[in-house]
Structure 1
């Protein structure tokens, strides 16, 4: 396909290394791009001291139209996961092969960020009279443990009173349906830790101790037997062991072990039900040592977990987005929810609109594959189409 502005911008973004906690270079590039296009970007600096001790930054652009319209937040994250093993290509050299563009972050989610940036530029340069306010937030550390960038925007009140948020995550890549896909909800997530307290002994006489690593392993094996029920809307959750830590030194039975659990949840599950489930697994596994279940250290009480959410199909913003998708694509969008977590969870559950309700968070992004895996790619045409959809939605919503 023709190398359009949004594809050329995407290629530039892919070429800039930006794993989470290392976003300064890409923030600087996007600031210059937005500034050159007359979009008046501002840096937002934040400092997280309680959990990971990270000083980060976001980009914010605010466009004001005529009075009387909605306030819409456009959200995307500029960070990526670190490069994993197994790439057959240079992850930082954008490579086009047929209808695919390969590169780390190509789908997740530099394509979505490029689409938002170009759509906002088109609106700025148009002669259309539109109403309301637009807030573009290009954030850091979404791929890290707490979505620190969006968390800071919310906790500092910088996106209060929005009426709707649009997030261009590559939801089509996570869907069973073909692009275009409009996701009207998402699963939530807890991350918790279990500390196991054993008894040290010499490794030549392990029977004299209590091996905390073995007790932790009992829990891990039992967790594989867990049967999770669907809530009938978002489906069923998921349990993934992220990490197991134990160390007996040179020649000792380890007296301490820690297991970190990543637990996706749905609307029928809560913090309390997840902890009851963990207790059940520990009991069924026959864990014989003392243990303690904890949430990991968190930036704040509100960011301790990602809440699941749903948006009604009858919501006015969802309705206009669906109409915009059909206008651009010539066919209706597939409507579903997304099975992973992201900034959209915070945007949907931690902000109030001007009337006190929670604003809908709509996810519409390009298609691709191999996300968080070697040879990540995005489908080129879907990047351009996502940009067109966002622009169409804005002019329909704000005219």
Structure 2
């Protein structure tokens, strides 16, 4: 997507910024190495000790704040929770221009099995930097610092403010502690670029304008426990039926079939022009059933499913919740036991869909900047933004009317995996993309 109506930055200015990026690219890698060395595992991650990891996010943001200060930024702390601080770094504009934020989460997932080296000791190879959080998404923080530093070195003051929002909580959907806390503190930009991992084998720095919503929820099915040998009396003709006992696993699979039926319907009823047919799913991730302890000689009297579903832009979390409950309750009403013992739903967390107009001003600006930068990498141009492969904090900016696009140096296939890495060449490329976006947008 190339738009000749966009205001073009001065060629000499771009050349000077490019030189500044090249001069400080190695320092940006040093920042990334230092950020990886600080364990900023989200303390709310399942299976980790909260107390052990509390404070890591704040420590990483404190280091980042030191570097941002040296790049001329004004730093602000927004506390999201005890021992967990967000960082807002601002290069003030001269006034009258549109502001731009770069949003990146500083929290990471926990280390996975299979690392060949210490996850918190970054290892540089010819074209890669390995380490926990490199792709998701500390390389983006390093690239943002590099853009700030280049502006400072060249002595450019944009017309609008340029922000870095380095936030906590993203890995556990805790936006109210991170991005939403920053927005509620008053740091609301006119647009936001989120350099989450979008560099794939089919092209670096892919631009995404939309992502599916998701909802994490559970369903509990109740039964009536009895001795396992009574199964024939509970399910065969001539026996006592439900009065003898009800195996919660049997009822759970009845409900599972109803949920699978709804998922198959969604292949036709949940559509969006930017998503392939059948993209929206209802995923059963956990099934557990017992009688309070694992013992095969009993009828389990409880069974719980944990589900994670996805849904398209245009639907709301509230509407999806009502649709799922309505479908399951209608199916349960046809079973005498389930009609008398309703399914128990627990709606745990939701991430609303993301959508920014792919033809809007901000999309045109970012697409032009991205295509110019990747041409130097030998990567193909994009004609239009595409859906993102994962959720991001774009949703919470868009909920406030702020256009948000996702484009960053990491590869999503490397995120959350052992031996996570980032292509080190994409750090300066991302900085250049941020700079070109800021110069065109901040008018």
TM-score bucket of the superposed structures, by smaller chain: 0.7 to 0.9
Deviation at 1:81, TM superposition (A): 1.1
Alignment size in residue pairs: 376
| 1:305 paired to 2:305 | no
Contact 1:142–1:149 (CA under 8 A) maintained in structure 2: yes
Give deviations 1:132-185, integer Å, cap 9, x for gaps: 11221100110013333113223x34233x210110001224xx7411311112
| 1:163 paired to 2:190 | yes
Contact 1:188–1:340 (CA under 8 A) maintained in structure 2: no
1:301 corresponds to which residue?
none
Deviation at 1:219, TM superposition (A): 4.0
Tell me: CA distance 1:258–1:367, structure 2 relative to 1, closer, same or farther (3 Å). same
Tell me: CA distance 1:272–1:254, structure 2 relative to 1, closer, same or farther (3 Å). same
SS at match of 2:117: coil
2:252 corresponds to which residue?
216
2: distance between equivalents of 1:9 and 1:71?
25
2: distance between equivalents of 1:346 and 1:121?
28
Tell me: CA distance 1:260–1:365, structure 2 relative to 1, closer, same or farther (3 Å). same
2:430 corresponds to which residue?
386
Q: Which runs of 5 or more residues in structure 1 are unaligned?
A: 48-53, 298-303, 352-357
2: distance between equivalents of 1:130 and 1:389?
15
2:12 corresponds to which residue?
none
| 1:347 paired to 2:383 | no
Tell me: CA distance 1:113–1:247, structure 2 relative to 1, closer, same or farther (3 Å). farther
What is the RMSD computed on CA atoms of the aligned residues? 2.9
2:98 corresponds to which residue?
70
2:206 corresponds to which residue?
181
SS at match of 1:365: coil
1:354 corresponds to which residue?
none
Tell me: CA distance 1:254–1:109, structure 2 relative to 1, closer, same or farther (3 Å). same
More strand by share: 1
Corresponding residue to 2:367 among 305, 309, 322 = 322
2: distance between equivalents of 1:34 and 1:239?
42
Tell me: CA distance 1:197–1:168, structure 2 relative to 1, closer, same or farther (3 Å). same
Give deviations 1:347-387, integer Å, cap 9, x for gaps: 112x1xxxxxx121011101423222222221221222111
Give deviations 1:305-325, integer Å, cap 9, x for gaps: 322232223211211112222
Contact 2:211–2:313 (CA under 8 A) maintained in structure 1: no
Tell me: CA distance 1:115–1:219, structure 2 relative to 1, closer, same or farther (3 Å). farther
2: distance between equivalents of 1:314 and 1:250?
56
Q: Which runs of 5 or more residues in structure 2 are unaligned?
A: 1-21, 44-52, 235-243
The within-5 A match list for 1:1-399 is: 4-21=26-43, 22=53, 23-47=57-81, 56-147=84-175, 148-154=177-183, 156-160=184-188, 162-173=189-200, 177-202=202-227, 208-220=244-256, 223=259, 226-227=263-264, 228-229=266-267, 230-235=271-276, 236-248=279-291, 249=293, 251=295, 252-267=298-313, 269-270=315-316, 271-273=318-320, 275-277=322-324, 279-280=326-327, 289=338, 290-297=341-348, 305-330=350-375, 332-333=381-382, 335-349=385-399, 351=400, 358-368=401-411, 369-398=413-442
Contact 2:204–2:374 (CA under 8 A) maintained in structure 1: no
Contact 1:219–1:282 (CA under 8 A) maintained in structure 2: no
Tell me: CA distance 1:390–1:201, structure 2 relative to 1, closer, same or farther (3 Å). same
Higher radius of gyration, 1 or 2: 2
Contact 1:77–1:139 (CA under 8 A) maintained in structure 2: yes
Deviation at 1:245, TM superposition (A): 4.2
More helix by share: 2
TM, length-normalised to structure 1: 0.83
SS at match of 2:111: coil
Give deviations 1:72-93, integer Å, cap 9, x for gaps: 2210001111112233332222
TM, length-normalised to structure 2: 0.76
